[in-house]
Amino acid sequence: MLEKLKIMKPYVTILIFLGLLQLFIIPALSEKKNYDPCCSYPCQHFGICTRIGFSDGYTCDCYRTGYYGDNCEIETWKHWYSEIIRPSPYTVQAILTNGKWFWQIVNNIKVLHSFFMTKILQLKAMSPVWPEAHNTAADYTTFDGYANKTYWALTIPPVPKNCPTPAGVAGPRELPDAETLVKTVFTRTEFKPCPRGTSVIVPFYGQHFTHQGFKSRMPDRSMTWGSHMVDGSHIYGETLEKQHALRTMSGGKMKMQIYNGEEYPPNVKDCPGIYMQYPAFVKEENKFALGHPLYGMLPSLVYYTTLWLREHNRACDIMAELHPDWDDERLFQTTKLIVLGEIMKITIETYVQHVSGMHFQLTYEPHLLHDLPMRWSSSRIHVEFNTLYHWHNLIPDYFLIGDRNYSLPEIYYNMNPLLDHGMNVFTTSLSNQIAGRGAGGRNMPESLHRIAIETVKMNRKVRLQPFNRYRQYFRLPPYKTFEDLTGETKFAKVLSDIYGGDIDAVEFYIGIMVEKRYKSKMWGITLNEAISSYSLRSVFSSTIGSPEYWKESTFGGKVGFDLVKTTNMQNLVCRNIQGCPKIQFQIPEDVNEDKDPGMIYNDCEQLKAETINQKTEL
């Protein structure tokens, strides 16, 4: 027996070795072979990393990064000097959100104001790269991906395929499914009001404005069917066929109908060729024909579309009186340019102004860029821009319209809050109701979770790089801890558990939404820096603002041009809604920034209570 054991011993050793080889060594070697070295982002300062064959080697393309070397780690003297004189985002925000008296003086001195406005546009509107080399078509640069506008652009390349983790090399190998993540991070347990006193009419304005460009293909949200431009397609339709179906083809005007003595968009049955996505329960008389098939979903979208349709027909009458020799087509086309100019002016001077929280007054003056190397008509919507605009935390659980409360689910495809109360009451009601707190997470109505879930899934499909990488791209230092990110401890622990304790694994969408609020802002500084670049570029790169368009003749002469240049949110409402209701993006009496420590309200109280208990025990 012993003899047999001695003979078998070498074979047993060999079998054990082979087993260990199969269990540990071969998988390790295999993983190393398939491991893309670019997963760890070895090319610093956003140099482009390319793997060499199936090896562990890679190359870094450092062109125009301001750095050189094997890993783009050595800074050029020119870049060093430019960074020395260029203020950091924190410095810029501190300057623009403090010293109110100083900015009041600047706002009233034209020469000074134009100087600062030009500098802001140079820093923001001209900063996003163009043409975008990265998009959702492929992991590498292709011409088809750029030429084919059904692909979204990407600000930075996606996470390489075959990486150890979804973030590259950071964090856990598997993240929780999107539904669990959204429920954990976004669920509202108690409504938290916006510390800046933002009114509900603000997120609805943002929704109506952005969705003329943010048009995801279904079911593949990584594709788009939009033009990537501020084109007024929610008013006029994105095709010539839709435009003709929505026009009267007389006097340049758009079709309208009378309801309760007020003008509203036409009915679907009166616009052959217009397709709207209405559920079966919607009454035929409430099926409005609009330029966007989904704009009949909410009364707020119909409200803003109605406002612009009324303005179009009003401006048409002005143009027709000034130019009795013009035919229908010229009246329509010129008036459309006027309305587009008004949209951009109001968006910058009222909407973006409120979101920015600056004391400096933003103005839509594209002529300030005419002598600068602005790339006109260069707007291309980025996945990141689309992602960060999911501002559902701002939406309350109910809406008080007139004397009645409507829950959030009650307003879906329900025009009664608008039609029964009228445009005047609707305006006043939404202007006086406070929106939710944007920053910090855990303030999203449960009925809107589905949209957040789809956003998470889409981001993972296109493999967006982690949140901290985008912080670096926008010249912000990466966060070191979850406490730094959230500004508190309890929620930070929740996020840490989700991402395996690795702050560099936090996904872009999650980081943007849960980041602590920056004083005087609705959101954290990362979202603010990103959106200021994307939005200002989107508006200021429009063809309408180019040197060949931004002149009197484009808008039918001095009267039309002055109409664009003098329009604001309040006079737009007064011109088109009976009774001239007051519209406000900020409710002064609801501003409570001094009481808001930049943390999540419930956690503040809980942490305070826990601290008191600890002191008592000691």
Q: Is residue 559 part of a domain?
A: yes
Q: How far apart are CA 9 and CA 388, in angstroms?
A: 64
For 22, the domain range is: 2-34
User: Angle formed by the axes of helices 110-123 and 100-107, to 10°?
Assistant: 110
Are 566 and 487 in contact by the 8 Å Cβ rule? The answer is no
| 413 and 274 within one domain | yes
Determine phi and psi for 342, rounding to 5 degrees: -65, -40
Q: Is residue 88 part of a domain?
A: no
pLDDT the model gives residue 61: 96
Q: How far apart are CA 205 and CA 547, in angstroms?
A: 28
- Interval 227-262: pLDDT, tens: 888 889 999 999 999 999 999 999 999 999 999 999
In three-state secondary structure terms, 199 is strand
Average predicted confidence (pLDDT) for the chain: 88
CB atoms under 10 Å from CB of 392, counted, come to 21
Q: Give the chain's domain count.
A: 2
Are 331 and 316 in contact by the 8 Å Cβ rule? The answer is yes
How far is the first Cα of the chain from the last one, in angstroms, to the nearest whole number? 70
In which band, very low, low, confident or very high, does the pLDDT at 608 lie, cut at 50, 70 and 90?
A: very low
| 26 and 170 within one domain | no
Q: Which of 208, 211, 312, 359 is catalytic?
A: 211
In which band, very low, low, confident or very high, does the pLDDT at 10 lie, cut at 50, 70 and 90?
A: low
In three-state secondary structure terms, 382 is strand
| 389 and 243 within one domain | yes
In which band, very low, low, confident or very high, does the pLDDT at 613 lie, cut at 50, 70 and 90?
A: very low
In which band, very low, low, confident or very high, does the pLDDT at 602 lie, cut at 50, 70 and 90?
A: very low
Is 211 one of the annotated active-site residues of the chain?
A: yes
Average pLDDT for residues 453-479, to the nearest whole number?
Answer: 95
Long-range CB contacts (within 8 A, 24+) of 8-17: none
Secondary structure letter of residue 178 according to DSSP: H
CB atoms under 10 Å from CB of 356, counted, come to 23
- Interval 171-223: pLDDT, tens: 999 999 999 999 999 999 999 999 999 999 999 999 999 888 888 887 777 78
- Interval 115-142: pLDDT, tens: 999 998 888 877 777 788 898 988 899 9
| 414 and 274 within one domain | yes
Q: Is residue 140 part of a domain?
A: no
Q: Is residue 157 part of a domain?
A: no
Angle at 27 between CA 26 and CA 33, to 5 degrees: 90
pLDDT the model gives residue 616: 31
Determine phi and psi for 286, rounding to 5 degrees: -100, 10
Is 389 one of the annotated active-site residues of the chain?
A: yes
377: pLDDT strictly greater than 90: no
Q: Which of 389, 479, 518, 601 is catalytic?
A: 389
Nearest to 204 by CA among 425, 429, 394, 403: 394
**Torsion of Cα atoms, 189 then 194 then 200 then 201, to 10°:** -150
Q: Is residue 459 part of a domain?
A: yes
Determine phi and psi for 616, rounding to 5 degrees: -65, -45
CB atoms under 10 Å from CB of 400, counted, come to 15
User: Angle formed by the axes of helices 201-210 and 299-322, to 10°?
Assistant: 70
| 234 and 383 within one domain | yes
Q: How far apart are CA 124 and CA 368, in angstroms?
A: 14
CB atoms under 10 Å from CB of 13, counted, come to 10
Kindly state the percentage of the chain with pLDDT values over 70.
90
Q: Is residue 47 part of a domain?
A: no
Secondary structure letter of residue 55 according to DSSP: S
Q: How far apart are CA 130 and CA 524, in angstroms?
A: 26
Kindly state the percentage of the chain with pLDDT values over 90.
69
Q: How far apart are CA 452 and CA 514, in angstroms?
A: 13
Q: How far apart are CA 436 and CA 200, in angstroms?
A: 8
609: pLDDT strictly greater than 50: no
- Interval 526-548: pLDDT, tens: 999 998 888 888 888 889 999 99
| 172 and 23 within one domain | no
Are 170 and 502 in contact by the 8 Å Cβ rule? The answer is yes
| 170 and 29 within one domain | no
**What are the tokens at 244?**
């003709």
CATH code, 561: 1.10.640.10
**What are the tokens at 469?**
């990488």
Q: Is residue 284 part of a domain?
A: yes
375: pLDDT strictly greater than 50: yes
Q: How far apart are CA 322 and CA 236, in angstroms?
A: 23
- Interval 21-63: pLDDT, tens: 454 444 444 444 477 999 999 999 999 999 998 889 999 999 9
pLDDT the model gives residue 218: 79
Q: Is residue 102 part of a domain?
A: no
Q: How far apart are CA 143 and CA 145, in angstroms?
A: 5
